[in-house]
Structure 1
Amino acid sequence: MTTPQQPLHSGFGAASTAQDVIKGIDLTGKVAIVTGGYSGIGLEASRVLRAAGADVVVPARDPERARAALTQADGVEIEEMDLIDPASVGAFAGKFLASGRPLDILIDSAGIMATPLRRDAHGYESQFATNHLGHFRLVNRLWPALVAARGARVISVSSRGIRFSPVVFEDLHFERRAYEPFLAYGQSKTANALFAVELDRRGRGQGVRAFAVHPGTIVDTGLAKHIPEESLRAAGALDEEGRPVRDPARQHKTVAQGAATGVWCATSPQLDGLGGVYCENCDISPLVTAEDEAGWRAHPGLPGVLPYAVAPQAAARLWEVSERLTA
């Protein structure tokens, strides 16, 4: 059975931090991999997982930068990996598998946002290739380690950016339509959400559960570097002096608040036996109905996920397409 998109009333909320949700949880003996684990919410996730006792591995395109960023997270392992390069993903995964360790937690936090049109070596649009296909390859290569954990969780960092676009199967890589950075970003974030749905369906019989998360709007992580400052002001993410707006009730969060939902999904016993759902504010998001969609789009503080981002048929189709694209 698919876990319904219905809130659990977890006791946490939009203002909860990663430290809040992991309090009292002992991860000694557990192993976690956090992509993007040396910046933004990924860095905070790495820090709190390590502080709770987990062995944390951070794959990084720039290992030296990662080492500099992770000086306050003693004992985090850093390995080289570039998500957009299949050979690099394969080399990282192969080295991890050779260690013989099970993988209890995989947080797919790395990503790019609203970039100019770029393509990878296969001609695939770079946001889809990085945010979705890179993690698709990684999860599939690490599958034996996830199964060996006997209760692994995979966290796919999505976004309220799902509102910009469904997955357009007829033209995934903007070969026949005009490229628009936020359409491409939205498509990749919808793909992240759908990936969790199908991954959970395929994995739950072997103890692998998956969750998609919307972390909130956190503008001071470097992710928004391609977005003009005036656009961020218009969206209410920056004030008139260019400072980040902190208002968790409208999803404008600190890094510590932004990391909370992913850490909650990765570690909370409240989610035992559940999976395949989209979460935000440290809870399962409600499904946005057709009648409520206009209001949801107009009010960024309202939680919810659009049906096309959690549709099982679209998730299964995306998996099959992704297998072909990464073959």
Structure 2
Amino acid sequence: MTTAQHPVRSGFGAASTAEEVIKGIDLTGRVAIVTGGYSGIGLETARVLRSAGAEIVVPARDPERGRAALRDVPGAEIEYLDLLDPASIDAFAKKFLASGRPLHILVNSAGIMATPLTRDARGYEVQFATNHLGHFQLVRRLWPALVAADGARVVSVSSRGIRFGGVDFDDLHFEHRPYEPFVAYGQSKTANALFAVELDRRGSAQGVHAFSLHPGIIIDTGLVKYVAPEIIRASGTVDEDGRPVIDPERQWKTVQQGAATSVWCATSPQLGGLGGVYCENCDISPLVTPSTEAAWYESEQTPGVLPGAVDPESAARLWEVSERLTA
């Protein structure tokens, strides 16, 4: 791992918003791509980066919906991309590279959660394929533009959902084990974190640093559409009328608070020269230890990342597997 998993005491916290985090930062002349940048925390991330002067490109599986969502973000570019379609990823990257622009910031914010068992055209389980493999291929194809930035950051939105399951290298696509939606989600989010570790190791010498993060629990997005309403109610994250309960210290956040750590990882000068770490609440997370493990599983208020989600050997293995799966 490039950087130790130790907080830097950023001065921000669970209740900080993306606008607060970016205050005083000028992104004029910088170029950013935000996947999932037309809904939820991705949209807020794109809006705030644009407000600081960055050129914003938002890949969208539904460009018309993307244009409608970004109508109040002047100058945002919307291009077609489907993370489950390798040809569309290549076409998007080819068009961006042809523009000759460097890529200073890539925020991999698009994702799905707890879907029924579904496989893409290659036979891959769709949560792993969307959340990890699609972004892996996108980064690989955009590599020349990231290097050309002479100081790029790749930010992958992971999740505390890593608790549900690590990467099962023997059965990535649930061909032999019973399929459990949240176990598959946990695998894909662990893959996001491991990807940042190995990407930073490979890219740091060329000025490319990578981060992963837990944004918090944000109910007011489309991410929970496959989760049964009774499960959401039982979690306490919504009130009797189905409205989100906001309690940042318990990680129950607004969209504006949920986007803050993405923006912090993408822009904060406090992370200059650092990378390969998992973050939350606008800071680097501590490692979960045997003495904190029980509290971490029991309470969202206990920060931390499981050692297995930032393990360098697992990260290197995942990279090699992902290269084979994406050809």
TM-score relative to the length of structure 2 = 0.99
What is the CA distance between 1:99 and its match in structure 2? Answer: 0.4
Partner of 1:67: 67
In 2, Cα distance between equivalents of 1:260 and 1:73: 18
Partner of 1:195: 195
**SS of the residue 1:34 aligns to:** strand
**SS of the residue 1:32 aligns to:** strand
In 1, Cα distance between equivalents of 2:57 and 2:241: 38
After superposition, give the CA deviation of every residue in 1:114-154 in whole Å (9 maximum; x if it has no partner): 00000011100000000000000000000000000000000
The residue type equivalent to 2:230 in the other structure is: E
After alignment, is 102-111 or 292-301 more displaced? Answer: 292-301
**SS of the residue 1:117 aligns to:** coil
In 2, Cα distance between equivalents of 1:7 and 1:106: 23
After superposition, give the CA deviation of every residue in 1:153-198 in whole Å (9 maximum; x if it has no partner): 0001000000000100010000000000000000000000000000
In 1, Cα distance between equivalents of 2:240 and 2:312: 43
Partner of 2:40: 40
The residue type equivalent to 2:133 in the other structure is: L
Partner of 1:105: 105
Partner of 1:312: 312
The residue type equivalent to 2:74 in the other structure is: D
Q: How does 1:163-182 map to 2 (within 5 A)?
A: 163-182=163-182
Partner of 2:249: 249
In 1, Cα distance between equivalents of 2:287 and 2:126: 29
Question: Aligned-residue CA RMSD in angstroms?
Answer: 0.7
The residue type equivalent to 1:67 in the other structure is: R
In 1, Cα distance between equivalents of 2:121 and 2:290: 39
What is the CA distance between 1:245 and its match in structure 2? Answer: 0.9
What is the CA distance between 1:301 and its match in structure 2? Answer: 1.6
**SS of the residue 1:183 aligns to:** helix
In 1, Cα distance between equivalents of 2:316 and 2:309: 12
In 2, Cα distance between equivalents of 1:98 and 1:130: 25
In 2, Cα distance between equivalents of 1:74 and 1:223: 26
In 1, Cα distance between equivalents of 2:117 and 2:230: 21
The residue type equivalent to 1:41 in the other structure is: I
Q: How does 1:250-289 map to 2 (within 5 A)?
A: 250-289=250-289
The residue type equivalent to 1:148 in the other structure is: A
What is the CA distance between 1:229 and its match in structure 2? Answer: 1.2
The percentage of aligned residue pairs carrying the same residue is 76
Q: How does 1:14-29 map to 2 (within 5 A)?
A: 14-29=14-29
In 2, Cα distance between equivalents of 1:49 and 1:150: 19
**SS of the residue 1:223 aligns to:** helix
Partner of 1:6: 6
In 2, Cα distance between equivalents of 1:235 and 1:200: 35
**SS of the residue 2:56 aligns to:** strand
Partner of 1:121: 121
What is the CA distance between 1:266 and its match in structure 2? Answer: 0.2
Deviant stretches of 4+, over 2 Å: none
Partner of 1:208: 208
The residue type equivalent to 2:93 in the other structure is: A
Partner of 2:141: 141
TM-score relative to the length of structure 1 = 0.99
The residue type equivalent to 2:6 in the other structure is: Q
Partner of 1:301: 301
